[in-house]
Amino acid sequence: MTLREFSLPLDSPLSTAAGSIDERRGLLVEYDHRGQRGVGEATLLSGWTESFSSCREGLERALEAGAGGDHAAALLELDADDVPAARHGFATALLDADARADGDPLYRWFDGSRRTDRVPVNATVGDADRETTVTVAESAVDAGFDCLKCKVGARSLDADLDRIRAVRAAVGDDVTLRLDANGAWDRETAARAFDVAESLDVAYVEQPLPAEDLSGLADLRGGPVGVAVDETLAEHSMAAVFEADAADVVVLKPMALGGPGTAHTLAMRAREERVEPVVTTTVDGVVARTAAVHVAAAIPDVAPCGLATADLLAADLGPDPAPVSDGHAAVPQDPGLGVDPATLDPATLDPGGSDP
């Protein structure tokens, strides 16, 4: 296993109710397995994953435990509850190598019956003033997106609802609108928001209440506006969410769940519970982003997913084999992820990174 540090600046800071994101820092992981070199990515996000130092320490423990090619021992050093990004990085590299060795694109390695060359994606409209929000939404629709996720919760509810009314008026009735409050509302505010969201034909509100409030989320369900959980999955298991009947939709971030395989397993489990899975990135580099595309591609009839995040980065780790066009992400058909480790540009990596 080799590790290289990187830091990818965002094109502009992404404002959310949980704070502003202006760079993505992580570790590129390469691992030789079954005669193939697999590549993975561990990209850290505060509130979702471990710290950078914990991530690197976890991967170095895995390197030591897996000396000689014992990948099972390496994985045992990476607990998804403690170091999800580190586990994602190694698990992705391992899956990439396995799928390469078997001659299958990763999504077909998950489900050999699947055949698809693209998956639907939503555009993300960040928090901004009313005019800017409308402009960004209109630009996304002009680019072919028919599903928009609008960030709310950083402003007063009245200001946010004014923004969303303006977006609906601007984009028309044929565009799906989703809202993402990042847990910023209390129960009273959320109830008011859902009443107005119904009149605006909002499909669902993502994390309308704080992550720990399962009973409040369950109380919001049952109407025409769905409830999606995101941050809740960092606080509670999927089983607890299902038991509480707290979600119509689960937002699955492979980086925060410990790897693409875990995300796919949870997506299929959600379907069994009649809860819809939506796969999203944590604004990752090209390796993790492409892995998430494969997870989405392995889900039959998947809803638009949060995978159109490449344009948020001012620099990336290498060429994008899953570009977004007309509201869809292309699904690579080459074996493995479809990311050639030789194309990953060292110039985008922190020169302080090294092979342990």
Q: Catalytic residues, which ones?
A: 151, 253
Q: Which residue reads 């502009």 in tokens?
A: 12
Taking CA atoms, 73 is separated from 1, 76, 83, in Å, by 13, 5, 15
Taking CA atoms, 298 is separated from 96, 227, 261, 295, in Å, by 15, 24, 11, 5
329: helix, strand or coil: strand
14 CB-near residues (< 8 Å, 6+ apart) = 20, 21, 22, 126, 283, 312
Longest dimension (CA), the chain: 61
Contact between 83 and 55 (Cβ < 8 Å): yes
Contact between 144 and 325 (Cβ < 8 Å): yes
Q: CA-CA distance, 322 to 303, in Å (whole number)?
A: 17
Range 239-248, long-range pairs (CB < 8 A, 24+ positions): 240/214, 241/214, 242/273, 242/275, 244/214, 244/215, 244/217, 244/218, 245/218, 245/221, 246/214, 246/215, 246/217, 246/218, 246/221, 247/217, 247/221, 247/275, 248/204, 248/221, 248/275, 248/276
Encoded amino acid at 306, one letter:
G
Q: Which residue reads 């590299």 in tokens?
A: 93
Pairing state between β 147-151 and 176-180: parallel
